[in-house]
Amino acid sequence: MTNQKQNAEKIWEKGIPVDELIEQFTIGKDRDLDLYLAPFDVLGSIAHVKMLHSIDLIADDELPELVDELTKIYEKAVTGDFFIEEGIEDVHSQVELMLTRALGDMGKKIHSGRSRNDQVLLDIKLYARNEIQQLVELTNNLFKLLIKRSDESKDILIPGYTHLQVAMPSSFGLWFGAYAESLTDDLQLLNAAWKITNQNPLGSAAGYGSSFPLNRQMTTDLLGFGQMNYNVVYAQMGRGKVEKTIAFALSSIASTLSKMAYDVCLYTSQNFGFVSLPDNMTTGSSIMPHKKNPDVFELLRAHCNKIQALPNDIVLMTNNLPSGYFRDLQIIKEVFIPSFGELKSCLRIAAHAIEHMELNTKVIDDKKYDLVFSVEEVNRLVTGGMPFRDAYKHVAHKIFEGDYVPTKKVKHVHEGSIGNLCNDKITAKMETIISAFDFEKVDRSFQELLTKS
């Protein structure tokens, strides 16, 4: 077989030419998106080849050659030198073609006991695990910054709002800390998605297993999975479900960022004036020379609202599919893979902007916020022995008559309040959640996979 013939053939081809328009439509964006999956496809192939050797489908003298050649392809994939040639459908076909060119018939052996169905499942899971690890790091960076700013500003009071009406005393420390703790719940959800993702589908083949005596536990261990998807039909059913589960976790982080961005957009307006951005972090108007627009937070809000639609996008692609593989699942890649880069960009820019955001330390001195202390006055009267309902009516009457004069002091001591933020407890919570991901096991398994033949 010549290289030219190899370039034109599909690994499933049976000698019947494929309609060109059908081919273009069915391949879609796979050749571009599969470049993201390429390093993980090769890692999966290395693990699969080692397993095939253990069941005598790869000879002793063939294993080191295959692993060595796959390692070379892996290095090309991680350095950006890997590409999918014209006429080749996907990353799986390209890797097999490269092996066959280099090693001849030996390269054709690597697909034994495997289907592109379980290959792409594996690739998506390995890719998602890697992206989740980066997201956890970036989320933790933002979390630490929010805790730092919370500690620094714990004594700077601002009004709190309900119904967008002045309500009760708050503080910048309380505000920053709220978003920090929100991120702990977001990572708790991401950890649940990680656990669902961190199960090995390899060996399920097209969704019905193989007559080869595959050692699925071996590939599970080699690839650092926590466990495997045991039932081969369910393993295939995981396509779409895994992406949807991860999407809910991504949307949770995005929701926190979006709400925070909306707050900042309000707080930077002249009507609030709580915070400001340095001039070099704002944009202007083509006709209004005074404008300093917080575009960074407006775009952050829009990107994060877009990410919050991701679970619904995936649901609509998968909710009417029965068990088994369907080509519909291919389209999930088009919304799923780009979402990681978009959210990572949002986390980076949020941290950068929050770090440089300037606080107005005199907000609470404005007379229009006097009523924010009314509950403090009610509570002071209750502490002096007056029944709460009588104290409430007493203060309400003073406000109505215009006789209310606030005492601008607060003494909140319970857990999580202005005077007792519990940031150390929130930090401990975050550290416990992050430790549950067990990234070290995955990193170690990949290092061993690439260094031991």
Residue 103, domain CATH: 1.10.275.10
CATH number at residue 291: 1.20.200.10
One domain for residues 205 and 60: no
Q: For 123-178, what is each residue's pLDDT tens digit?
A: 999 999 999 999 999 999 999 999 999 999 999 999 999 999 999 999 999 999 99
Q: Is 145 in the same domain as 276?
A: yes
Q: Are 343 and 372 part of one and the same domain?
A: no
pTM: 0.92
- pLDDT number for residue 327: 81
In angstroms, the CA 45 to CA 211 distance is: 19
| Alpha helices (H) along 308-373 | 310-318, 332-356
* Inside any domain, residue 80: yes
85 and 146 part of one domain: no
Shared domain for 38 and 129, answered yes or no, is no
pLDDT exceeds 70 at position 26:
no
Model confidence pLDDT, tens digit, residues 290-320:
889 999 999 999 999 999 999 999 999 998 8
Q: How far is CA 300 from the centre of its chain?
A: 15
- The answer to whether residues 314 and 394 belong to one domain is no
Cβ contact 441:224 at 8 Å: yes
- Classify residue 450: in a domain, yes or no: no
The per-residue pLDDT for range 388-405, each reduced to its tens digit, is 999 999 999 999 999 999
Residue 209 CA to its chain's centroid (Å)? 31
pLDDT at 7 over 90: no
Range name among 24-33, 142-151, 370-379 with the lowest pLDDT average: 24-33
User: What Rg do the C-alpha atoms of the chain give, in angstroms?
Assistant: 29
420 assigned to some structural domain: no
Check residue 113 and give its pLDDT.
Answer: 95
Residue 8's pLDDT is 45
Q: Is position 164 within any domain?
A: no
pLDDT band with cut points at 50, 70 and 90 for residue 354: very high
Domain count along the chain = 3
Q: For the segment 182-217, what is each residue's pLDDT rounded down to a tens digit? A: 999 999 999 999 999 999 999 999 999 999 999 999
Domain membership of residue 243 as a residue range: 117-152+175-363+426-437
Mean of pLDDT over the chain: 93
pLDDT higher than threshold 60 for residue 3: no
Residues 6 or more apart from 327 whose CB is under 8 A from it? 26
Which of 88, 89, 92 lies closest to 121, judged by CA? 92
DSSP 406-427: --------STTBTTB--HHHHH
Check pLDDT > 70 for residue 373: yes
Identify which of 76, 86, 73, 78 has the alpha carbon closest to the alpha carbon of residue 32.
Answer: 86
Residues 234 and 311 in one domain: yes
Q: Are 198 and 113 in contact (CB under 8 A)?
A: no
242 with 352, same domain: the answer is yes
Are residues 392 and 308 both part of a single domain?
A: no
**Last residue in a domain, options 88, 112, 136:** 112
The full DSSP string for 167-216 is EEEEEHHHHHHHHHHHHHHHHHHHHHHHHHHSEE-TT-TTTT--SS---H
pLDDT, mean of residues 407-423: 94
* Confidence (pLDDT) at 201: 97
Are 357 and 268 part of one and the same domain?
yes
Q: Assess whether 122 and 89 both reside in one domain.
A: no
Measured CA to CA, the distance from residue 334 to residue 336 in angstroms comes to 6
pLDDT at 291: 87
Read off the DSSP letter of residue 324.
S
Asked whether the CA dihedral 63, 69, 73, 76 is positive or negative, the reply is positive
Q: What is the pLDDT of residue 11?
A: 57
Q: How confident is the model at residue 86 (pLDDT cuts 50, 70, 90)?
A: confident
**Do 98 and 61 lie in a common domain?**
yes
Q: What is the mean pLDDT of residues 83-95?
A: 90
End-to-end Cα separation, the chain, in angstroms: 29
